[in-house]
Structure 1
Amino acid sequence: MKVLLLAGSGEGRVLADALYKMGVNAVASLAGATRQAKPLALPTRIGGFGGEDGFCEYLEREKITHVLDATHPFASRISHRTALVSARKSLKYMQYLRPAWTAQAGDQWHHIRDETDVLGLLNKTPSTVFLATGRQTLERFANLEGHRIICRQIDPPTSPFPFEGGEYCIGRPPFSVGREVELFEALGVDLLVVKNAGGTASRSKLDAAALLGLPVAMIERPPQPDAPKVDTIEAALDWVRAC
């Protein structure tokens, strides 16, 4: 048995540590979106596979027998491809998908389908919009030009903001609730935009918004592959143990 761990989420790091301690023959893969990412406990490859053909070639060359998909809930294109290829090659596949966030007392959430729907939540007065959505989908907010747009990302930018009125806020998680409150107040944030990634580590921004009475534009998750899923670390490890 040889396991490929697609470790694109925070839980991917936890799974890598656990698989290493269990002595499982496994290799991890990171897309390389974050520069100078902290090393994982497992041998790690960084970067894309080169499309479906490259992915198939990698699986054959490395003699992968099991795939544990712990990518980000919004990396659905990768998950769909991985599940499809795994089924075609008769590889065992399991998706770890952490539970989505649900609104709590005090939350002012507006559920939207995608980034372009944020505009409908703003009035004609220029607003300060804080994007906690990463840089990969930044260009989808171009219809917000005319408002002050602040995009938080981990690494310093290597190119200008893609449209007028935007600026970057550099920060590396985790962020405490108190720190988020201070940041949102200092920036004068009127609307927080978040992808429904789920998880406890990054919920602090939502708790901070609730304390400040800030509205939140909650982007719903894309459809996930029709494939086996678990929603806890222990269940994912149990799947490996049973293989």
Structure 2
Amino acid sequence: MLLRRALVLGGSTEARLLATRIAADRRLWGVISLAGRTSAPLAHDLPTRVGGFGGVEGLTRYLIEERISHVVDATHPFAARITANARAACAAAGAPLLVLTRPPWVAAPGDRWIEVAGNAAAARALGDSPRRVFLAIGRQGVADFRVAPQHQYFLRVIEAPNAGDLPPSCEVIFGRGPFALEDEIALMRDRRIEIIVTKNSGGALAYAKIEAARALGLDVVMIARPARGDAAMTHDIDAAMAFLFS
């Protein structure tokens, strides 16, 4: 059997799990690519490249030059541009593509969700009256909330955002998950949070804030995932491994 050469577009827990499986399989050669948005990413079990490819043309060239046989897009569910580039590059290079992503969260009894399509809609959903807002969206996109400066924001990030992107009244809280439910409840009580803004990233590791909001009776502005085109998709690591031998 010819050695399969896999490119994993990473940045998610699913990507790390898949990398571990690929590294343990002698029938596979693999590399994982990270966008480089954090200066100290978590370690992976595959050789890792950091930084962009140079758009669709650069990624197409990489796939051809490295003789990549299969591509798994295991980026963050909101990495729409990377997914679009991967879809176009794989089509040009003739490499099959699979999107590996975690299932989105679904509202449970007791949840008070306001579902919106993007950051601009999320900022509008906060309303005109000043509120204490927990922003769990990461540092990218925080500038979109400058249009609603009447609110007090609490932004949790792994790395410092650009100061110019922050709304006028914004406390930056540093932390890398997963976070325990009791810690999320304590944080929201301590900051007297009235409403949460988050992306529907899905998965168990970031779910505690949703449970905390439910326990405290808080509204959650839930930003829906962007469309990821017509690429084949799975939520299952075993299915992703089977794809690499298809």
TM-score normalized by the length of structure 1 = 0.94
Q: 2:99 aligns with which of 91, 95, 104?
A: 95
Give 1:55's aligned residue: 59
Q: What pairs up with 1:26-37 in 2 under 5 angstroms?
A: 26-37=30-41
CA distance in 2, matches of 1:122, 1:156: 24
CA distance in 1, matches of 2:141, 2:203: 20
Q: Which digits, 9 at most, give the CA deviation of each residue in 1:69-109, with x for residues without a partner?
A: 10111101111110121012111211112211100011110
Q: Which moved more, 1:37-46 or 1:141-150?
A: 141-150
Maintained 8 Å contact 2:63/2:93:
no
Shift of 1:156: 3.3
Tell me the amino acid that sits aligned with residue 53 of structure 1: E
Give 1:20's aligned residue: 23
Q: Which moved more, 1:154-163 or 1:133-142?
A: 154-163
Q: 1:168 aligns with which of 167, 172, 175?
A: 172
Shift of 1:57: 2.2
Segments of 5+ residues of structure 1 without an aligned counterpart are none
- Classify the secondary structure of the residue corresponding to 1:25: strand
Q: Which moved more, 1:149-158 or 1:41-50?
A: 149-158
CA distance in 2, matches of 1:118, 1:79: 23
Give 2:81's aligned residue: 77
CA distance in 1, matches of 2:79, 2:200: 12
Q: Which digits, 9 at most, give the CA deviation of each residue in 1:172-228, with x for residues without a partner?
A: 111011111011111111110111111111111100110111100000111112111
Give 1:8's aligned residue: 11
Q: Does 1:151 align with 2:155?
A: yes
CA distance in 1, matches of 2:42, 2:223: 28
Maintained 8 Å contact 2:70/2:96:
yes
Segments of 5+ residues of structure 2 without an aligned counterpart are none
Shift of 1:123: 4.3
Q: 2:202 aligns with which of 198, 218, 221?
A: 198
Tell me the amino acid that sits aligned with residue 30 of structure 2: A
Maintained 8 Å contact 1:161/1:167:
no
Number of residue pairs matched? 242
CA distance in 1, matches of 2:128, 2:67: 57
